[in-house]
Chains A and B, each alone.
Chain A
Amino acid sequence: MSEGGLLLALLAAATLRGAAPLVLAALGGLFSERSGVVDIGLEGKMLAAAFAAAATAAVTGSAWTGLLAAIGASVLVSLVHGYACITHRGDQVVSGMALNITMSGLTAMLGLAWFREGGQTPLLGAGARFTPIALPAVDTLTPVPLLGRVYGEVLSGHNALVYLAAAAVPLVAWLVYRTRFGLRLRAVGEAPGAVDTAGISVSSVRYRAVIASGVLCGLAGAYLSIAHHASFIRDMSAGKGYLALAALIFGQWRPVPTVGACLLFALADAVQTRLQGTPLPLVGVIPVQFIQALPYALTVCLLGGFVGRAVAPRAIGVPYVKER
């Protein structure tokens, strides 16, 4: 195959790697937002999880304990969000923002104080992080034209969390659309009063949704620090939480379109990394910043109703008051 084919394969593989944390975080946000709780705190949860994962993995030398710690930290942040927004009916956006800012400071501070490497955690060895795994039967499929290439160079050779992200998509779609919990979740986000009348606790459903968001953001954060990179770097989420939120809105709060948006944003990023400084026919060199800004600009256009229409869950952002 030609050089172009190789480039495409590299781009596709980079897209999958870049999309994995976005997919995990966006699907987490989907649970929370479909239940009516705005989840601006994706960023903070990812950051907390990334730090917890790297710190734990550095101390214990095990990637899986790191992953557990990441989920624990992220769920804890989720529960604070739930306590403020569900129990005390606080402003959900303010709470999310507060948690993002707190986590940005807290992770940097603890990282510096505990590891004394300028806010980073120590570099992790192979056992303490998720390393690329080859899918079965790669070698037997390699001679097959096209398919072998796609399987061997695009799909194989990622770390476990990328495959986990891929598995999470059908799982979340099934949970949200095909289970009793999913029905209640969607109902609580549209008409909490009706759910309450049916004798189901709105708070309990929302708490479970917020915890689900915590678990998935925990995976997303762990991906950043112990799979994609080999240590925690301060503010390493670098806006990915907001990007995931944008993808969630772009995907109109539905699992499959949301994942599509994540892939689109990750593709833009992969193209930008590859194209840096290379002139394109007709347009010349596209400034890096232009491609970086693309996901945000697209989301604004969508929100403005210029590209489709984003219809949010009806009860989103509104605390539920049982009795007045």
Chain B
Amino acid sequence: MSARATGTASGAGGHGRRRWRARREWLVEALLPLINLAVALALSALVVLLVGESPARALSLLAAGALGSGEAIGYTLYYATSFVFTGLAVAVAFHGGLFNIGAEGQAYVGGLGVGLLCLAAGSWPSGFVVAGAVMAAAAFGAAWAFVPAWLQARRGSHIVITTIMFNFLASSLMTYLLVNVLIKPGQQSPETREFAPSTWLPQLHGVLGALGWGLGQSPLNLATVLALAACVLVWFYLWHTRWGYALRALGKSETAAVYGGIRPARTVIAAMCISGALAGLMSLNEVMGVQHRLMLNFVGGAGYVGIAVSLMGRNHPAGIVLAAILFGALYQGGSELSFDVPTLTRDIVVVIQGLIILVCGALEHALRRPLLWLVRPHARAGPSAPLAHHGS
């Protein structure tokens, strides 16, 4: 299989063939996610109709559930935090033309790192615990991404398939460990004992409440701050370091990158490890911030949401934050929605998520071309440019 995912990876690629066209492309970049969202929501509205409910009512309930109160907003941002991490993970890989479907498994194994550290670190000072947990989450996530990356870079096996397989392997491994090894003795459900309170990530509702922003009892915690820091670091890495440059060059054209002295294997492995580390960090929010124990399936599909977030955020940290908040709102609003309308469960959010991936990712050309045509000025662009083109 061709190793590089085509199309999506080169997201922002304008060829700059004609300058006037390039000048309008930012408009397309800004409008396209909104139009994609509108199309995905319109398709979801059809599904809601099919179920026999009113799409308008569903949407208003969803919005109220996600943003109606301080606590709701807190929950929205808590979900968004996980999605920022997994979205960044997918985006970093995308920039190198790699499709990391394995964020789910990497986050799961990252949680193992966090869990082991927190179980061991009951008496450590809290600063050490947080620093240690960040490193453990990143290291475990990166390690889980390293094997598929190495297989892709050195043995030419396709990263999409190997990361899918590694999701299943992660699931088996974690089930085994939780059921047989880490389970709290004398307990039925496969989860560890609760961590010592000194290892819990600090909640934000106290701090923000003091600033006059009431978040109720929402589980928003320090991981949100870490997620924003990760965004800045990823932005710096991608656009302001030579490694980021190497990765993006590789994603655009492998032959050109090799000609420029970039070593593809090394770049791929480094990028996938960073991607896996980011996915692993997601577990801080869930394991250390909220559950305070390691439990089965705590990732809950966040790795797959990361794909939608990354595609919709155009693989840029700023876009990813916005897309993650959108998905956070969908998840939070979706769980509220099912209280009011029993036939509409959070599954509707999964449908919207799938449709967004379809529309933003697989069908991106279908919408981009007509949009470019619309945005493009239709006055003739002077006779010289086309003539020069013909002459060459």
Give me the interface of A with B, judged by CB distance under 8 Å. 38, 40, 80, 84-85, 87-95, 97-106, 108-110, 112-114, 116, 239, 242, 245-246, 249, 287, 289-290, 292-293, 296-297, 299-300, 303-305, 310, 312, 316-319
Contact = CB atoms under 8 A, between A and B. Distances in A.
Which secondary structure dominates where chain B touches chain A?
Answer: helix
Contacts of A91: 5-8, 99, 361-362
13 contacts: A89-B365, A90-B366, A91-B6, A91-B361, A94-B5, A95-B363, A98-B361, A101-B350, A104-B350, A293-B172, A300-B151, A303-B161, A304-B162
Given A40-B160, A94-B8, A102-B351, 20 more contacts: A84-B362, A88-B363, A90-B365, A91-B99, A92-B362, A93-B99, A105-B351, A105-B352, A108-B345, A108-B347, A108-B350, A239-B168, A246-B161, A249-B161, A289-B172, A290-B172, A299-B161, A300-B157, A316-B2, A318-B2
Nearest to A315: B2
A141 B168 CA distance: 43
Given A90-B366, A109-B345, A317-B6, A99 B354 contact: yes
B6 A319 contact: yes
Given A109-B351, A316-B2, A94 B362 contact: yes
Contacts of A305: 155-157
Contacts of B147: 300
Given A91-B362, A287-B180, A317-B2, A109 B348 contact: yes
Contacts of B8: 90-91, 94
Contact of B157 (A97, A304, A318): A304
B166 interface: yes
B351 A318 contact: no
Interface in B113-146: none
A97 B165 contact: no
Contacts of A116: 343
Interface in B146-175: 147, 151, 155-158, 160-162, 164-166, 168-169, 172-173, 175
A102 B158 contact: no
A100 B157 CA distance: 23
B176 interface: yes
A319 B364 CA distance: 14
A245 B355 CA distance: 23
A126 to B, nearest CB: 30
A319 B366 CA distance: 14
B6 A318 contact: yes
Contacts of A303: 151, 155, 157-158, 161-162, 165
A312 B1 contact: yes
B52 A113 contact: yes
A112 B1 CA distance: 39
Contacts of B362: 84-85, 88, 90-92, 94-95, 98
Given A93-B160, A296-B168, A303-B161, A100 B354 contact: yes
